[in-house]
Chain A
Amino acid sequence: MTSVKARILSLAAVATLVAAGCSTGGGQTSEPAASGQSISMWTFKQSHATALQKAAEQFTAQTGISVKVEAVTPDDVFKSKIQSAAQTGDLPDVLEAHAAGEDLELGASGLLADISGDVNDAWKGRFLPSTQNAGVLDQGRIDRAAADSPFKQAKAGSMYAVPFTAGAFGIVYANKEKLQAAGLSPDTPPASWEEFVAALKTSTEKDPQAGGLSLGLKVSQVGFNWVYQPLAHAYLGKEKFQGLFGKDTTAGFGSPDGVKTLDLYAQLTPYWMPGATTLGIDEADIAFAQGKSAYNVGGTFTLAFLAQNGMSPDKVLTFPIPPSASGAHKDIVMAPLALTSLGVTSTSKNRAAALKWIDYVTSPAGAGLVAKESLDLPATDLGAEAATLMGPELAALQKYFTGDPASTYDAGDTTFFPGGYDQVKPGDAVVRLSPLKELDPAQAGKELDAIFGAMWKSAE
């Protein structure tokens, strides 16, 4: 009798544990998540670590599972720490990685677990539509990868991470006080590229040293990625824009259309902040926050950094890179892309608890809490509650995400790039166009075509 009782109790215990394991995110997991457990997480963003630790306190109060969040910065240190930990078996349970790239590489390399069976449609449905599949490795990505890429060994349809933060590049921040001092409207963004360049001219004339545009061109690709690409997309339309990057150079950067887009970009040359090519991304943002420039280009995530550096969000006017008045589209909509994502490491012994934690921080309550603390937009669609959960300034940035689908620029669409695309090379060429003036638009077009031609050849 005692033996039967013991068996019944054991079965009941197993059933309870399985039920607890199944309760995370509506998905299925094999290990239980129990109160008293402790999980670890690494992130490469300091601002996220503080916000996540606050969310962890709420999570612990609800579930009894404690979470230790550690920030490992900067990016190269984060990467080398993961490399070492992977070799020694010391990875944490959860990793926050760059979305739609780094997370997939980590997964395909066997460091992140496939969680496609755990993340059901209801969970996916929480996210902004354009970010939902950011952590899924699709067949197209595998096909485009170089022969020695770990993607070639991975299974299409594997999901290695869920989106965590989202946003868009190519957001211009303008200092309202400087606009007012230059006689420009502090509340009305320029309607076109031409108006933007004219406004830059006015602010630079008013204050030649601190009235220009800052951008961290020491990381040369930001000029190409954040300013040139949205501008060219709006000017040419999606099809011609994608054609610039193709093998056919008759439609490339050196074509009349391509040269025209480079000519538009080169109009910025007189208005860069002095020494812009020596500034990193953070340094350019800090320079703007310190009043050394009137305009600054960043992403939706820049607002948080400016606030950390003492610039109140209500002192800035934000708008996406304005389209040229003579271009195909008179409006620019920025498709939000997943910027960071959360994955469970394949060596985690606390998979169920880790999934439960990810489930919490991607729920409206958890995501809203992290967003408010970090001033970074979540990938979770907060809908009408956005302003309440995140605050008005952050919620306002979301307005650039909606509009005419035809004029929507999706920076996450990399299907038309050559395999092994190295963004530093076109970045350097565009820096040589502006601000260095070493190349004119036609020469820059030829150089860009040569760069992409070489990349296509290498990919073969």
Chain B
Amino acid sequence: MATRWREWLTGWAFVFPAVALFAVMGVYTIGSGLALSFASWNGFTPEWIWVGLENYADLLWADPSLAPGVRRAAWNTLQVCVAVPLLTVLISLPLAVTLNSVRRLRGLLRSVYFLPYVTTGIATYYAWRYLLEPEGSINLMLRSAGLGSLAQPQGWLANPSTALWTLILILVWSAVPTATLLYLTGLQAIDPSMVEAARIDGAAPRQVLRRIIVPLLTPMTAGIVLLGVRDSLHGFQIFLIMTNGGPGGHTNVLALETYELAFFKGLAPTLGLSSALGWLLFVGAVLLTLANARLLRRVR
């Protein structure tokens, strides 16, 4: 009996730090965040004011000075959520197949295509800003190539019709390396005899890709799409640093709106609203994930 008790105690002693850490950093913060979404608080007062579902109603329809902005941000977020995963898959899959088939300089080429992942982050967003300025390299290259009519005199981020899509392309640029790496892993897990058998049966490379490789990579595609959706829903750094939601609110997204509600409304009691918007984003992410999983299951 004493031995069992000691074993039980020893076991708990080992797992307690991890359980405690999760309880404090995970369960407590999630619970506290959820509770906050039903309260009004500015982060300073000792007491929260409970408002029930008011924060959710204000964000969705009830507050006329808040709801329209949230709807505009939701539309921008949706565009990002659809475009980023889609373009990432469309670029990274052929890229991975090509990289998988080359024999010479394979290591070097993989390193080159993986560079954006290594360098990605806040610093690269600043670097991109310089490239996209009115006198930046992108405009300079276009003018040098005789495509001056495509150059943006105000810069790519100052034109409302190019700003959001420019940010989407930068997000894709930073997502492609990871996706390519995942696809390469998936490609190397495919049994070469299956491809070989298809070729012997007379399948063209395009048919091999369409009928064998793409279906077998479906789980990988699901993962990449999920990562893309998650990053698109939660990522706000690029929007904060590169445009701050501008020009004129044209690149505002829900994650940025959440951040702004938490930290840029003076000291107004908007932390509850911010938390509620965060939970709405979470619900949106879960729904999109389920829809994506269902769709891919059907495709498979």
* Interface residues in chain A, defined as those with a beta carbon under 8 Å from any beta carbon in chain B: 76, 79-80, 82-83, 86, 101-102, 105-106, 108-111, 146, 148-150, 153, 209, 217-220, 274-278, 280, 420, 422, 424-425, 428-429, 431-432, 435-436, 438, 451, 453-455, 457-458
Contacts and interface: CB of A to CB of B under 8 A. Distances in A.
A178 to B, nearest CB: 17
Interface string B155-184: 101101000000000000000000000000
A86 B265 CA distance: 19
A79 B262 CA distance: 10
Residue among B42, B160, B247, B249 with the highest chain A CB neighbour number at 10 A: B247
A114 to B, nearest CB: 15
A457 B264 contact: no
A150 B269 contact: yes
7 contacts: A86-B43, A109-B42, A109-B45, A275-B134, A275-B158, A278-B155, A438-B160
A439 to B, nearest CB: 9
Contacts of B65: 420, 422, 425, 451, 454-455, 457-458
Contacts of A454: 64-65, 68
A218 B154 contact: no
Interface string B258-272: 001001111111000
Nearest to A97: B267
Contacts of A420: 65, 268
B157 A278 contact: yes
B133 interface: yes
A150 B49 CA distance: 10
Contacts of B265: 422
Contact of B155 (A80, A209, A219, A274): A274
B63 interface: yes
A280 B42 contact: no
B267 A431 contact: no
B158 A109 contact: no
B121 interface: no
Given A219-B244, A220-B248, A278 B133 contact: yes
Contacts of A219: 244
Closest 9 CB pairs of A and B: A109-B44, A105-B267, A454-B64, A274-B134, A277-B247, A275-B155, A454-B65, A148-B40, A76-B263
Contacts of A79: 43, 263, 267
If over half of A's interface residues share one DSSP class (helix, strand or loop), that class is named, otherwise mixed; here it is: helix
A142 B235 CA distance: 37
B44 A436 contact: no
Nearest to A272: B154
B109 interface: no
Nearest to B40: A148
Contact of B268 (A149, A218, A274, A455): A149
Given A431-B248, A436-B247, A454-B64, A276 B44 contact: no
Nearest to B244: A218
Interface string B184-203: 00000000000000000000
Contacts of B243: 218, 278
A455 B155 CA distance: 33
A274 B132 CA distance: 12
A340 to B, nearest CB: 14
A436 B248 contact: yes
Contacts of B49: 148
Interface string B56-89: 0000000111101100000000000000000000
Contacts of A280: 244
A368 to B, nearest CB: 31
Contacts of A217: 246-247
Nearest to A102: B267
A424 B246 CA distance: 11
Contact of B154 (A82, A109, A274, A424): A274
A275 B154 contact: yes
Contacts of B26: none
Interface in B3-56: 40, 42-46, 49, 51
A109 B248 contact: no
B153 interface: yes
A146 to B, nearest CB: 8
A220 B250 CA distance: 12
